[in-house]
Structure 1
Amino acid sequence: MILYPAIDLKEGRCVRLLRGAMDQATVYNDDPAAQAQLFAQAGFPWLHLVDLDGAIHGRAVNQAAVAAILAAVDVPVQLGGGIRDMAAIERWLAAGIRRVILGTVALRDPDLVRAAGRLHPGRVVVGIDARGGRVAVEGWVETAETTALDLARRFEDAGVAAIIYTDIDRDGALVGVNVEATAELARAVSIPVIASGGVAGIADIHAVKATGVIAGVVVGRALYDGRLAPDEALQALAA
C-alpha cells in the first residue's frame, strides 16, 4: 500500500480545503516546491498534486507551481485538476508528470479516458469524487446521479492505473476514512483503488491497510497539522 501526501494548489500556494469548499482554504505553505521537498525528504515514494483552480476553470491554472515541484523533487508525481482533453494529458505527461488524474472528464467523456489509457498504459488515473455516494464534478460544484461504483465499472479493462476514491464529506475534516465504502469499491472492480479524504491519524492508516484490498491512501491535513507523523505512517505500511 502506498501513502500519497497531498499538495493542493490554489493561487500558487499549498492549501487544504474543508469538504471541497474553495472559500474554506487553509494556507499551509506559500512555496509548494519547498513543501514537496519536505515530503520527499521524509521518504514518501509519491506526491499527489491537485490544481484546485484548474478543477474549477477546466484548464491548467497553477502550471508554475507544478513546474517548480517537478524541478525540485525526483519522486514520481500524479496530478489532477482541470485536465479535460488529450492535448492537456499529453502536455502534462511530456512535462514530467508520471500519472494524470482524470475526474470530471471521466464522467463527461469516458471515451477520452479509455483512449488515454490505451495510449499511455499505467499513466492514467480515474478520480472519482463522491458526495453521498454520487459522483461530483467541476471542482465538486456539481453532483451527478451516477454512483461511484457505476462510474468505476466503466473503466474495467481500460488500461487505467488506479481509481482514487474521495469521500467529499470527509475531505479535510479529519473524521476518518470511509474505509467501508472504499473497500467495497475495491472489491467490486479489478482496478486498484486508492482511498482519499478524512485521514485523521495513524489509526486510519492501519484501518485502510487491514482491508487488504485498498492499494493506497491520500493524506493531507493530518500531515500538515502534525496529527500524523510521516515516519510513523511509513513504518506502519512497511510492517
Structure 2
Amino acid sequence: MTPQGAIGNPAQDAPFTIYPSVDVVAATAMTSNSAIRMARGENGAGRALGDPLEVALTWQAAGAQWVHLVDLDAATGRGSNRAQLARITGALDVKVQLCGGIRDQESLDMALATGCDRVNLSTAALESPEWCARALAEHGERIAIALDVRMTPDGYRLVTRGWNKDGGDLWEVLDRLEREGCTRYVVTDVERGGMMSSPNLQLLREVCARTDAPVVAGGGVADAQDLRRLAELSALGVEGTILGQALHTGVITLPEALSAVDGGAASGASVR
C-alpha cells in the first residue's frame, strides 16, 4: 500500500481500456440506468436494448476489446441469467468481465467455466471475506473486487446486494483486501452510476493513493470530456472505465469514446 497522496500505479504507458456494458435483466439487455432502477426495486418498465448477445456483438464490431457483462437479476437475488451469460461469453471473440451474484464457490466455478477473462466479486468480498481471500489467492488476475461506494455523513460506505445493503467502511475493507493481495478494483460511486452525472474523480484519486493495484472506474460518464479526464488519471493507476448509459442512449458512440482516450492513454480497442 502506498502512502496517502502518493502515486499508486504509474501505468502511463498502458492502454486505457473502455468496457462497454451489457446489463441483463430477465434475459434482456437494458440501459444501465433502467437496469439500476429495476435492481433497486423502483417502478417503471425501463428501456430495453434487446437481445444481450446482439448488443455485445455490436460493441465487439465497433472495436471494443472488453465487454462488461452484468447479471442484474443475480446481483439482487431475484433470479439468474447464468445460461445466457455463458452463451454470450462463448460467442464473443473479445475479452469478457463477468459480474453479478458471484458469491460462493459454485457460482465462481460456473462463472470461470464460461471462459470469461475476469470476474468481479462484490457482495462476497464483504459477506464472505475468508472465502474471498482464498479465491484471490487461487485465481489472481482473473478476480477483481468491485467497490460500490456511497458518500454518507460518516464518510465513504460500501453497498452490496445490488446497492441495497450497507457493507461497511470503504477504507477498512480496502486495507483488508490489500493484505489479501487483490490485483484489481472496480470503483463505482453508486449515486453516479447510470446517471451520466460525471465520474467521482476525487474518489478515484483517493483509492489510487491507497493501492498499487490498477483501478477501473465504474460509471457516471456523461461525455467525451469525462473520458478524457479519466484517461488523465492513468498515471495514478486508473486503467479504464465501464461505459454504460451514455453509450446505450447514443450520447456518445463507442468509436467516439475510443477516440477520446486515444493519445497519452491509448484506447482499449487499440484505436490508431
TM interval, short-chain normalised: over 0.9
Question: Does 39-48 or 107-116 show the bigger shift?
Answer: 107-116
Instruction: Tell me what 1:235 maps to.
Output: 259
Give the number of the structure whose alpha-carbon radius of gyration is greater: 2
Cα separation, 1, equivalents of 2:213 and 2:56:
27
Question: Does 74-83 or 153-162 show the bigger shift?
Answer: 153-162
- Assess if the C-alpha contact under 8 Å between 2:35 and 2:46 holds in 1: no
Cα drift, residue 69 of structure 1: 1.2
Cα separation, 1, equivalents of 2:81 and 2:195:
24
Instruction: Tell me what 2:246 maps to.
Output: 222
Cα drift, residue 71 of structure 1: 2.9
Question: Does 21-30 or 105-114 show the bigger shift?
Answer: 21-30
- Assess if the C-alpha contact under 8 Å between 2:90 and 2:115 holds in 1: no
Instruction: Tell me what 2:24 maps to.
Output: 9
Question: Does 217-226 or 20-29 show the bigger shift?
Answer: 20-29
> Which among 213, 228, 233 is matched to residue 191 of structure 1?
213
- Assess if the C-alpha contact under 8 Å between 2:219 and 2:243 holds in 1: yes
Cα drift, residue 159 of structure 1: 4.1
> Which among 71, 74, 86 is matched to residue 67 of structure 1?
86
> Which among 154, 164, 168 is matched to residue 141 of structure 1?
164
- Assess if the C-alpha contact under 8 Å between 1:101 and 1:127 holds in 2: yes
The residue type equivalent to 1:56 in the other structure is: T
What is the identity percentage for the equivalent residue pairs of Structure 1 and Structure 2?
A: 32
What SS class does the counterpart of residue 172 from structure 2 fall into?
helix
> Which among 36, 39, 47 is matched to residue 20 of structure 1?
36
Cα separation, 2, equivalents of 1:27 and 1:108:
32
Cα separation, 1, equivalents of 2:183 and 2:96:
14
Instruction: Tell me what 1:55 maps to.
Output: 75
Instruction: Tell me what 1:118 maps to.
Output: 137
Cα separation, 2, equivalents of 1:222 and 1:7:
13
Cα separation, 1, equivalents of 2:133 and 2:35:
29
* 1:21-77 Cα shifts (integer Å, max 9, x gaps): 32356333220000000001111111111111101118x701132123113211111
- Assess if the C-alpha contact under 8 Å between 1:103 and 1:137 holds in 2: yes
What SS class does the counterpart of residue 209 from structure 2 fall into?
helix
Q: Structure 2 length as normaliser, TM-score?
A: 0.82
Q: Say what the alpha-carbon RMSD is for the aligned residues.
A: 1.8
The residue type equivalent to 1:83 in the other structure is: I
Cα drift, residue 172 of structure 1: 1.1
Question: Does 25-34 or 203-212 show the bigger shift?
Answer: 25-34
- Assess if the C-alpha contact under 8 Å between 2:157 and 2:170 holds in 1: yes
**Structure 2: where are the runs of 5+ without partners?**
1-15, 264-272
Cα drift, residue 236 of structure 1: 2.6
Within 5 A, what are the aligned runs for 1:62-141?
A: 62-132=81-151, 133-141=156-164
* 1:165-205 Cα shifts (integer Å, max 9, x gaps): 11110111111010111121012112211111211010111
**Structure 1: where are the runs of 5+ without partners?**
none
Of structures 1 and 2, the one scoring higher in RCO (CA 8 A, sep 6+) is: 2
Question: Does 131-140 or 23-32 show the bigger shift?
Answer: 23-32
The residue type equivalent to 2:191 in the other structure is: D
- Compared with structure 1, are the counterparts of its residues 7 and 19 closer, same or farther at alpha carbon in structure 2 (3 Å cutoff)? closer
**Corresponding residue pairs, total:** 237
Cα separation, 2, equivalents of 1:105 and 1:123:
15
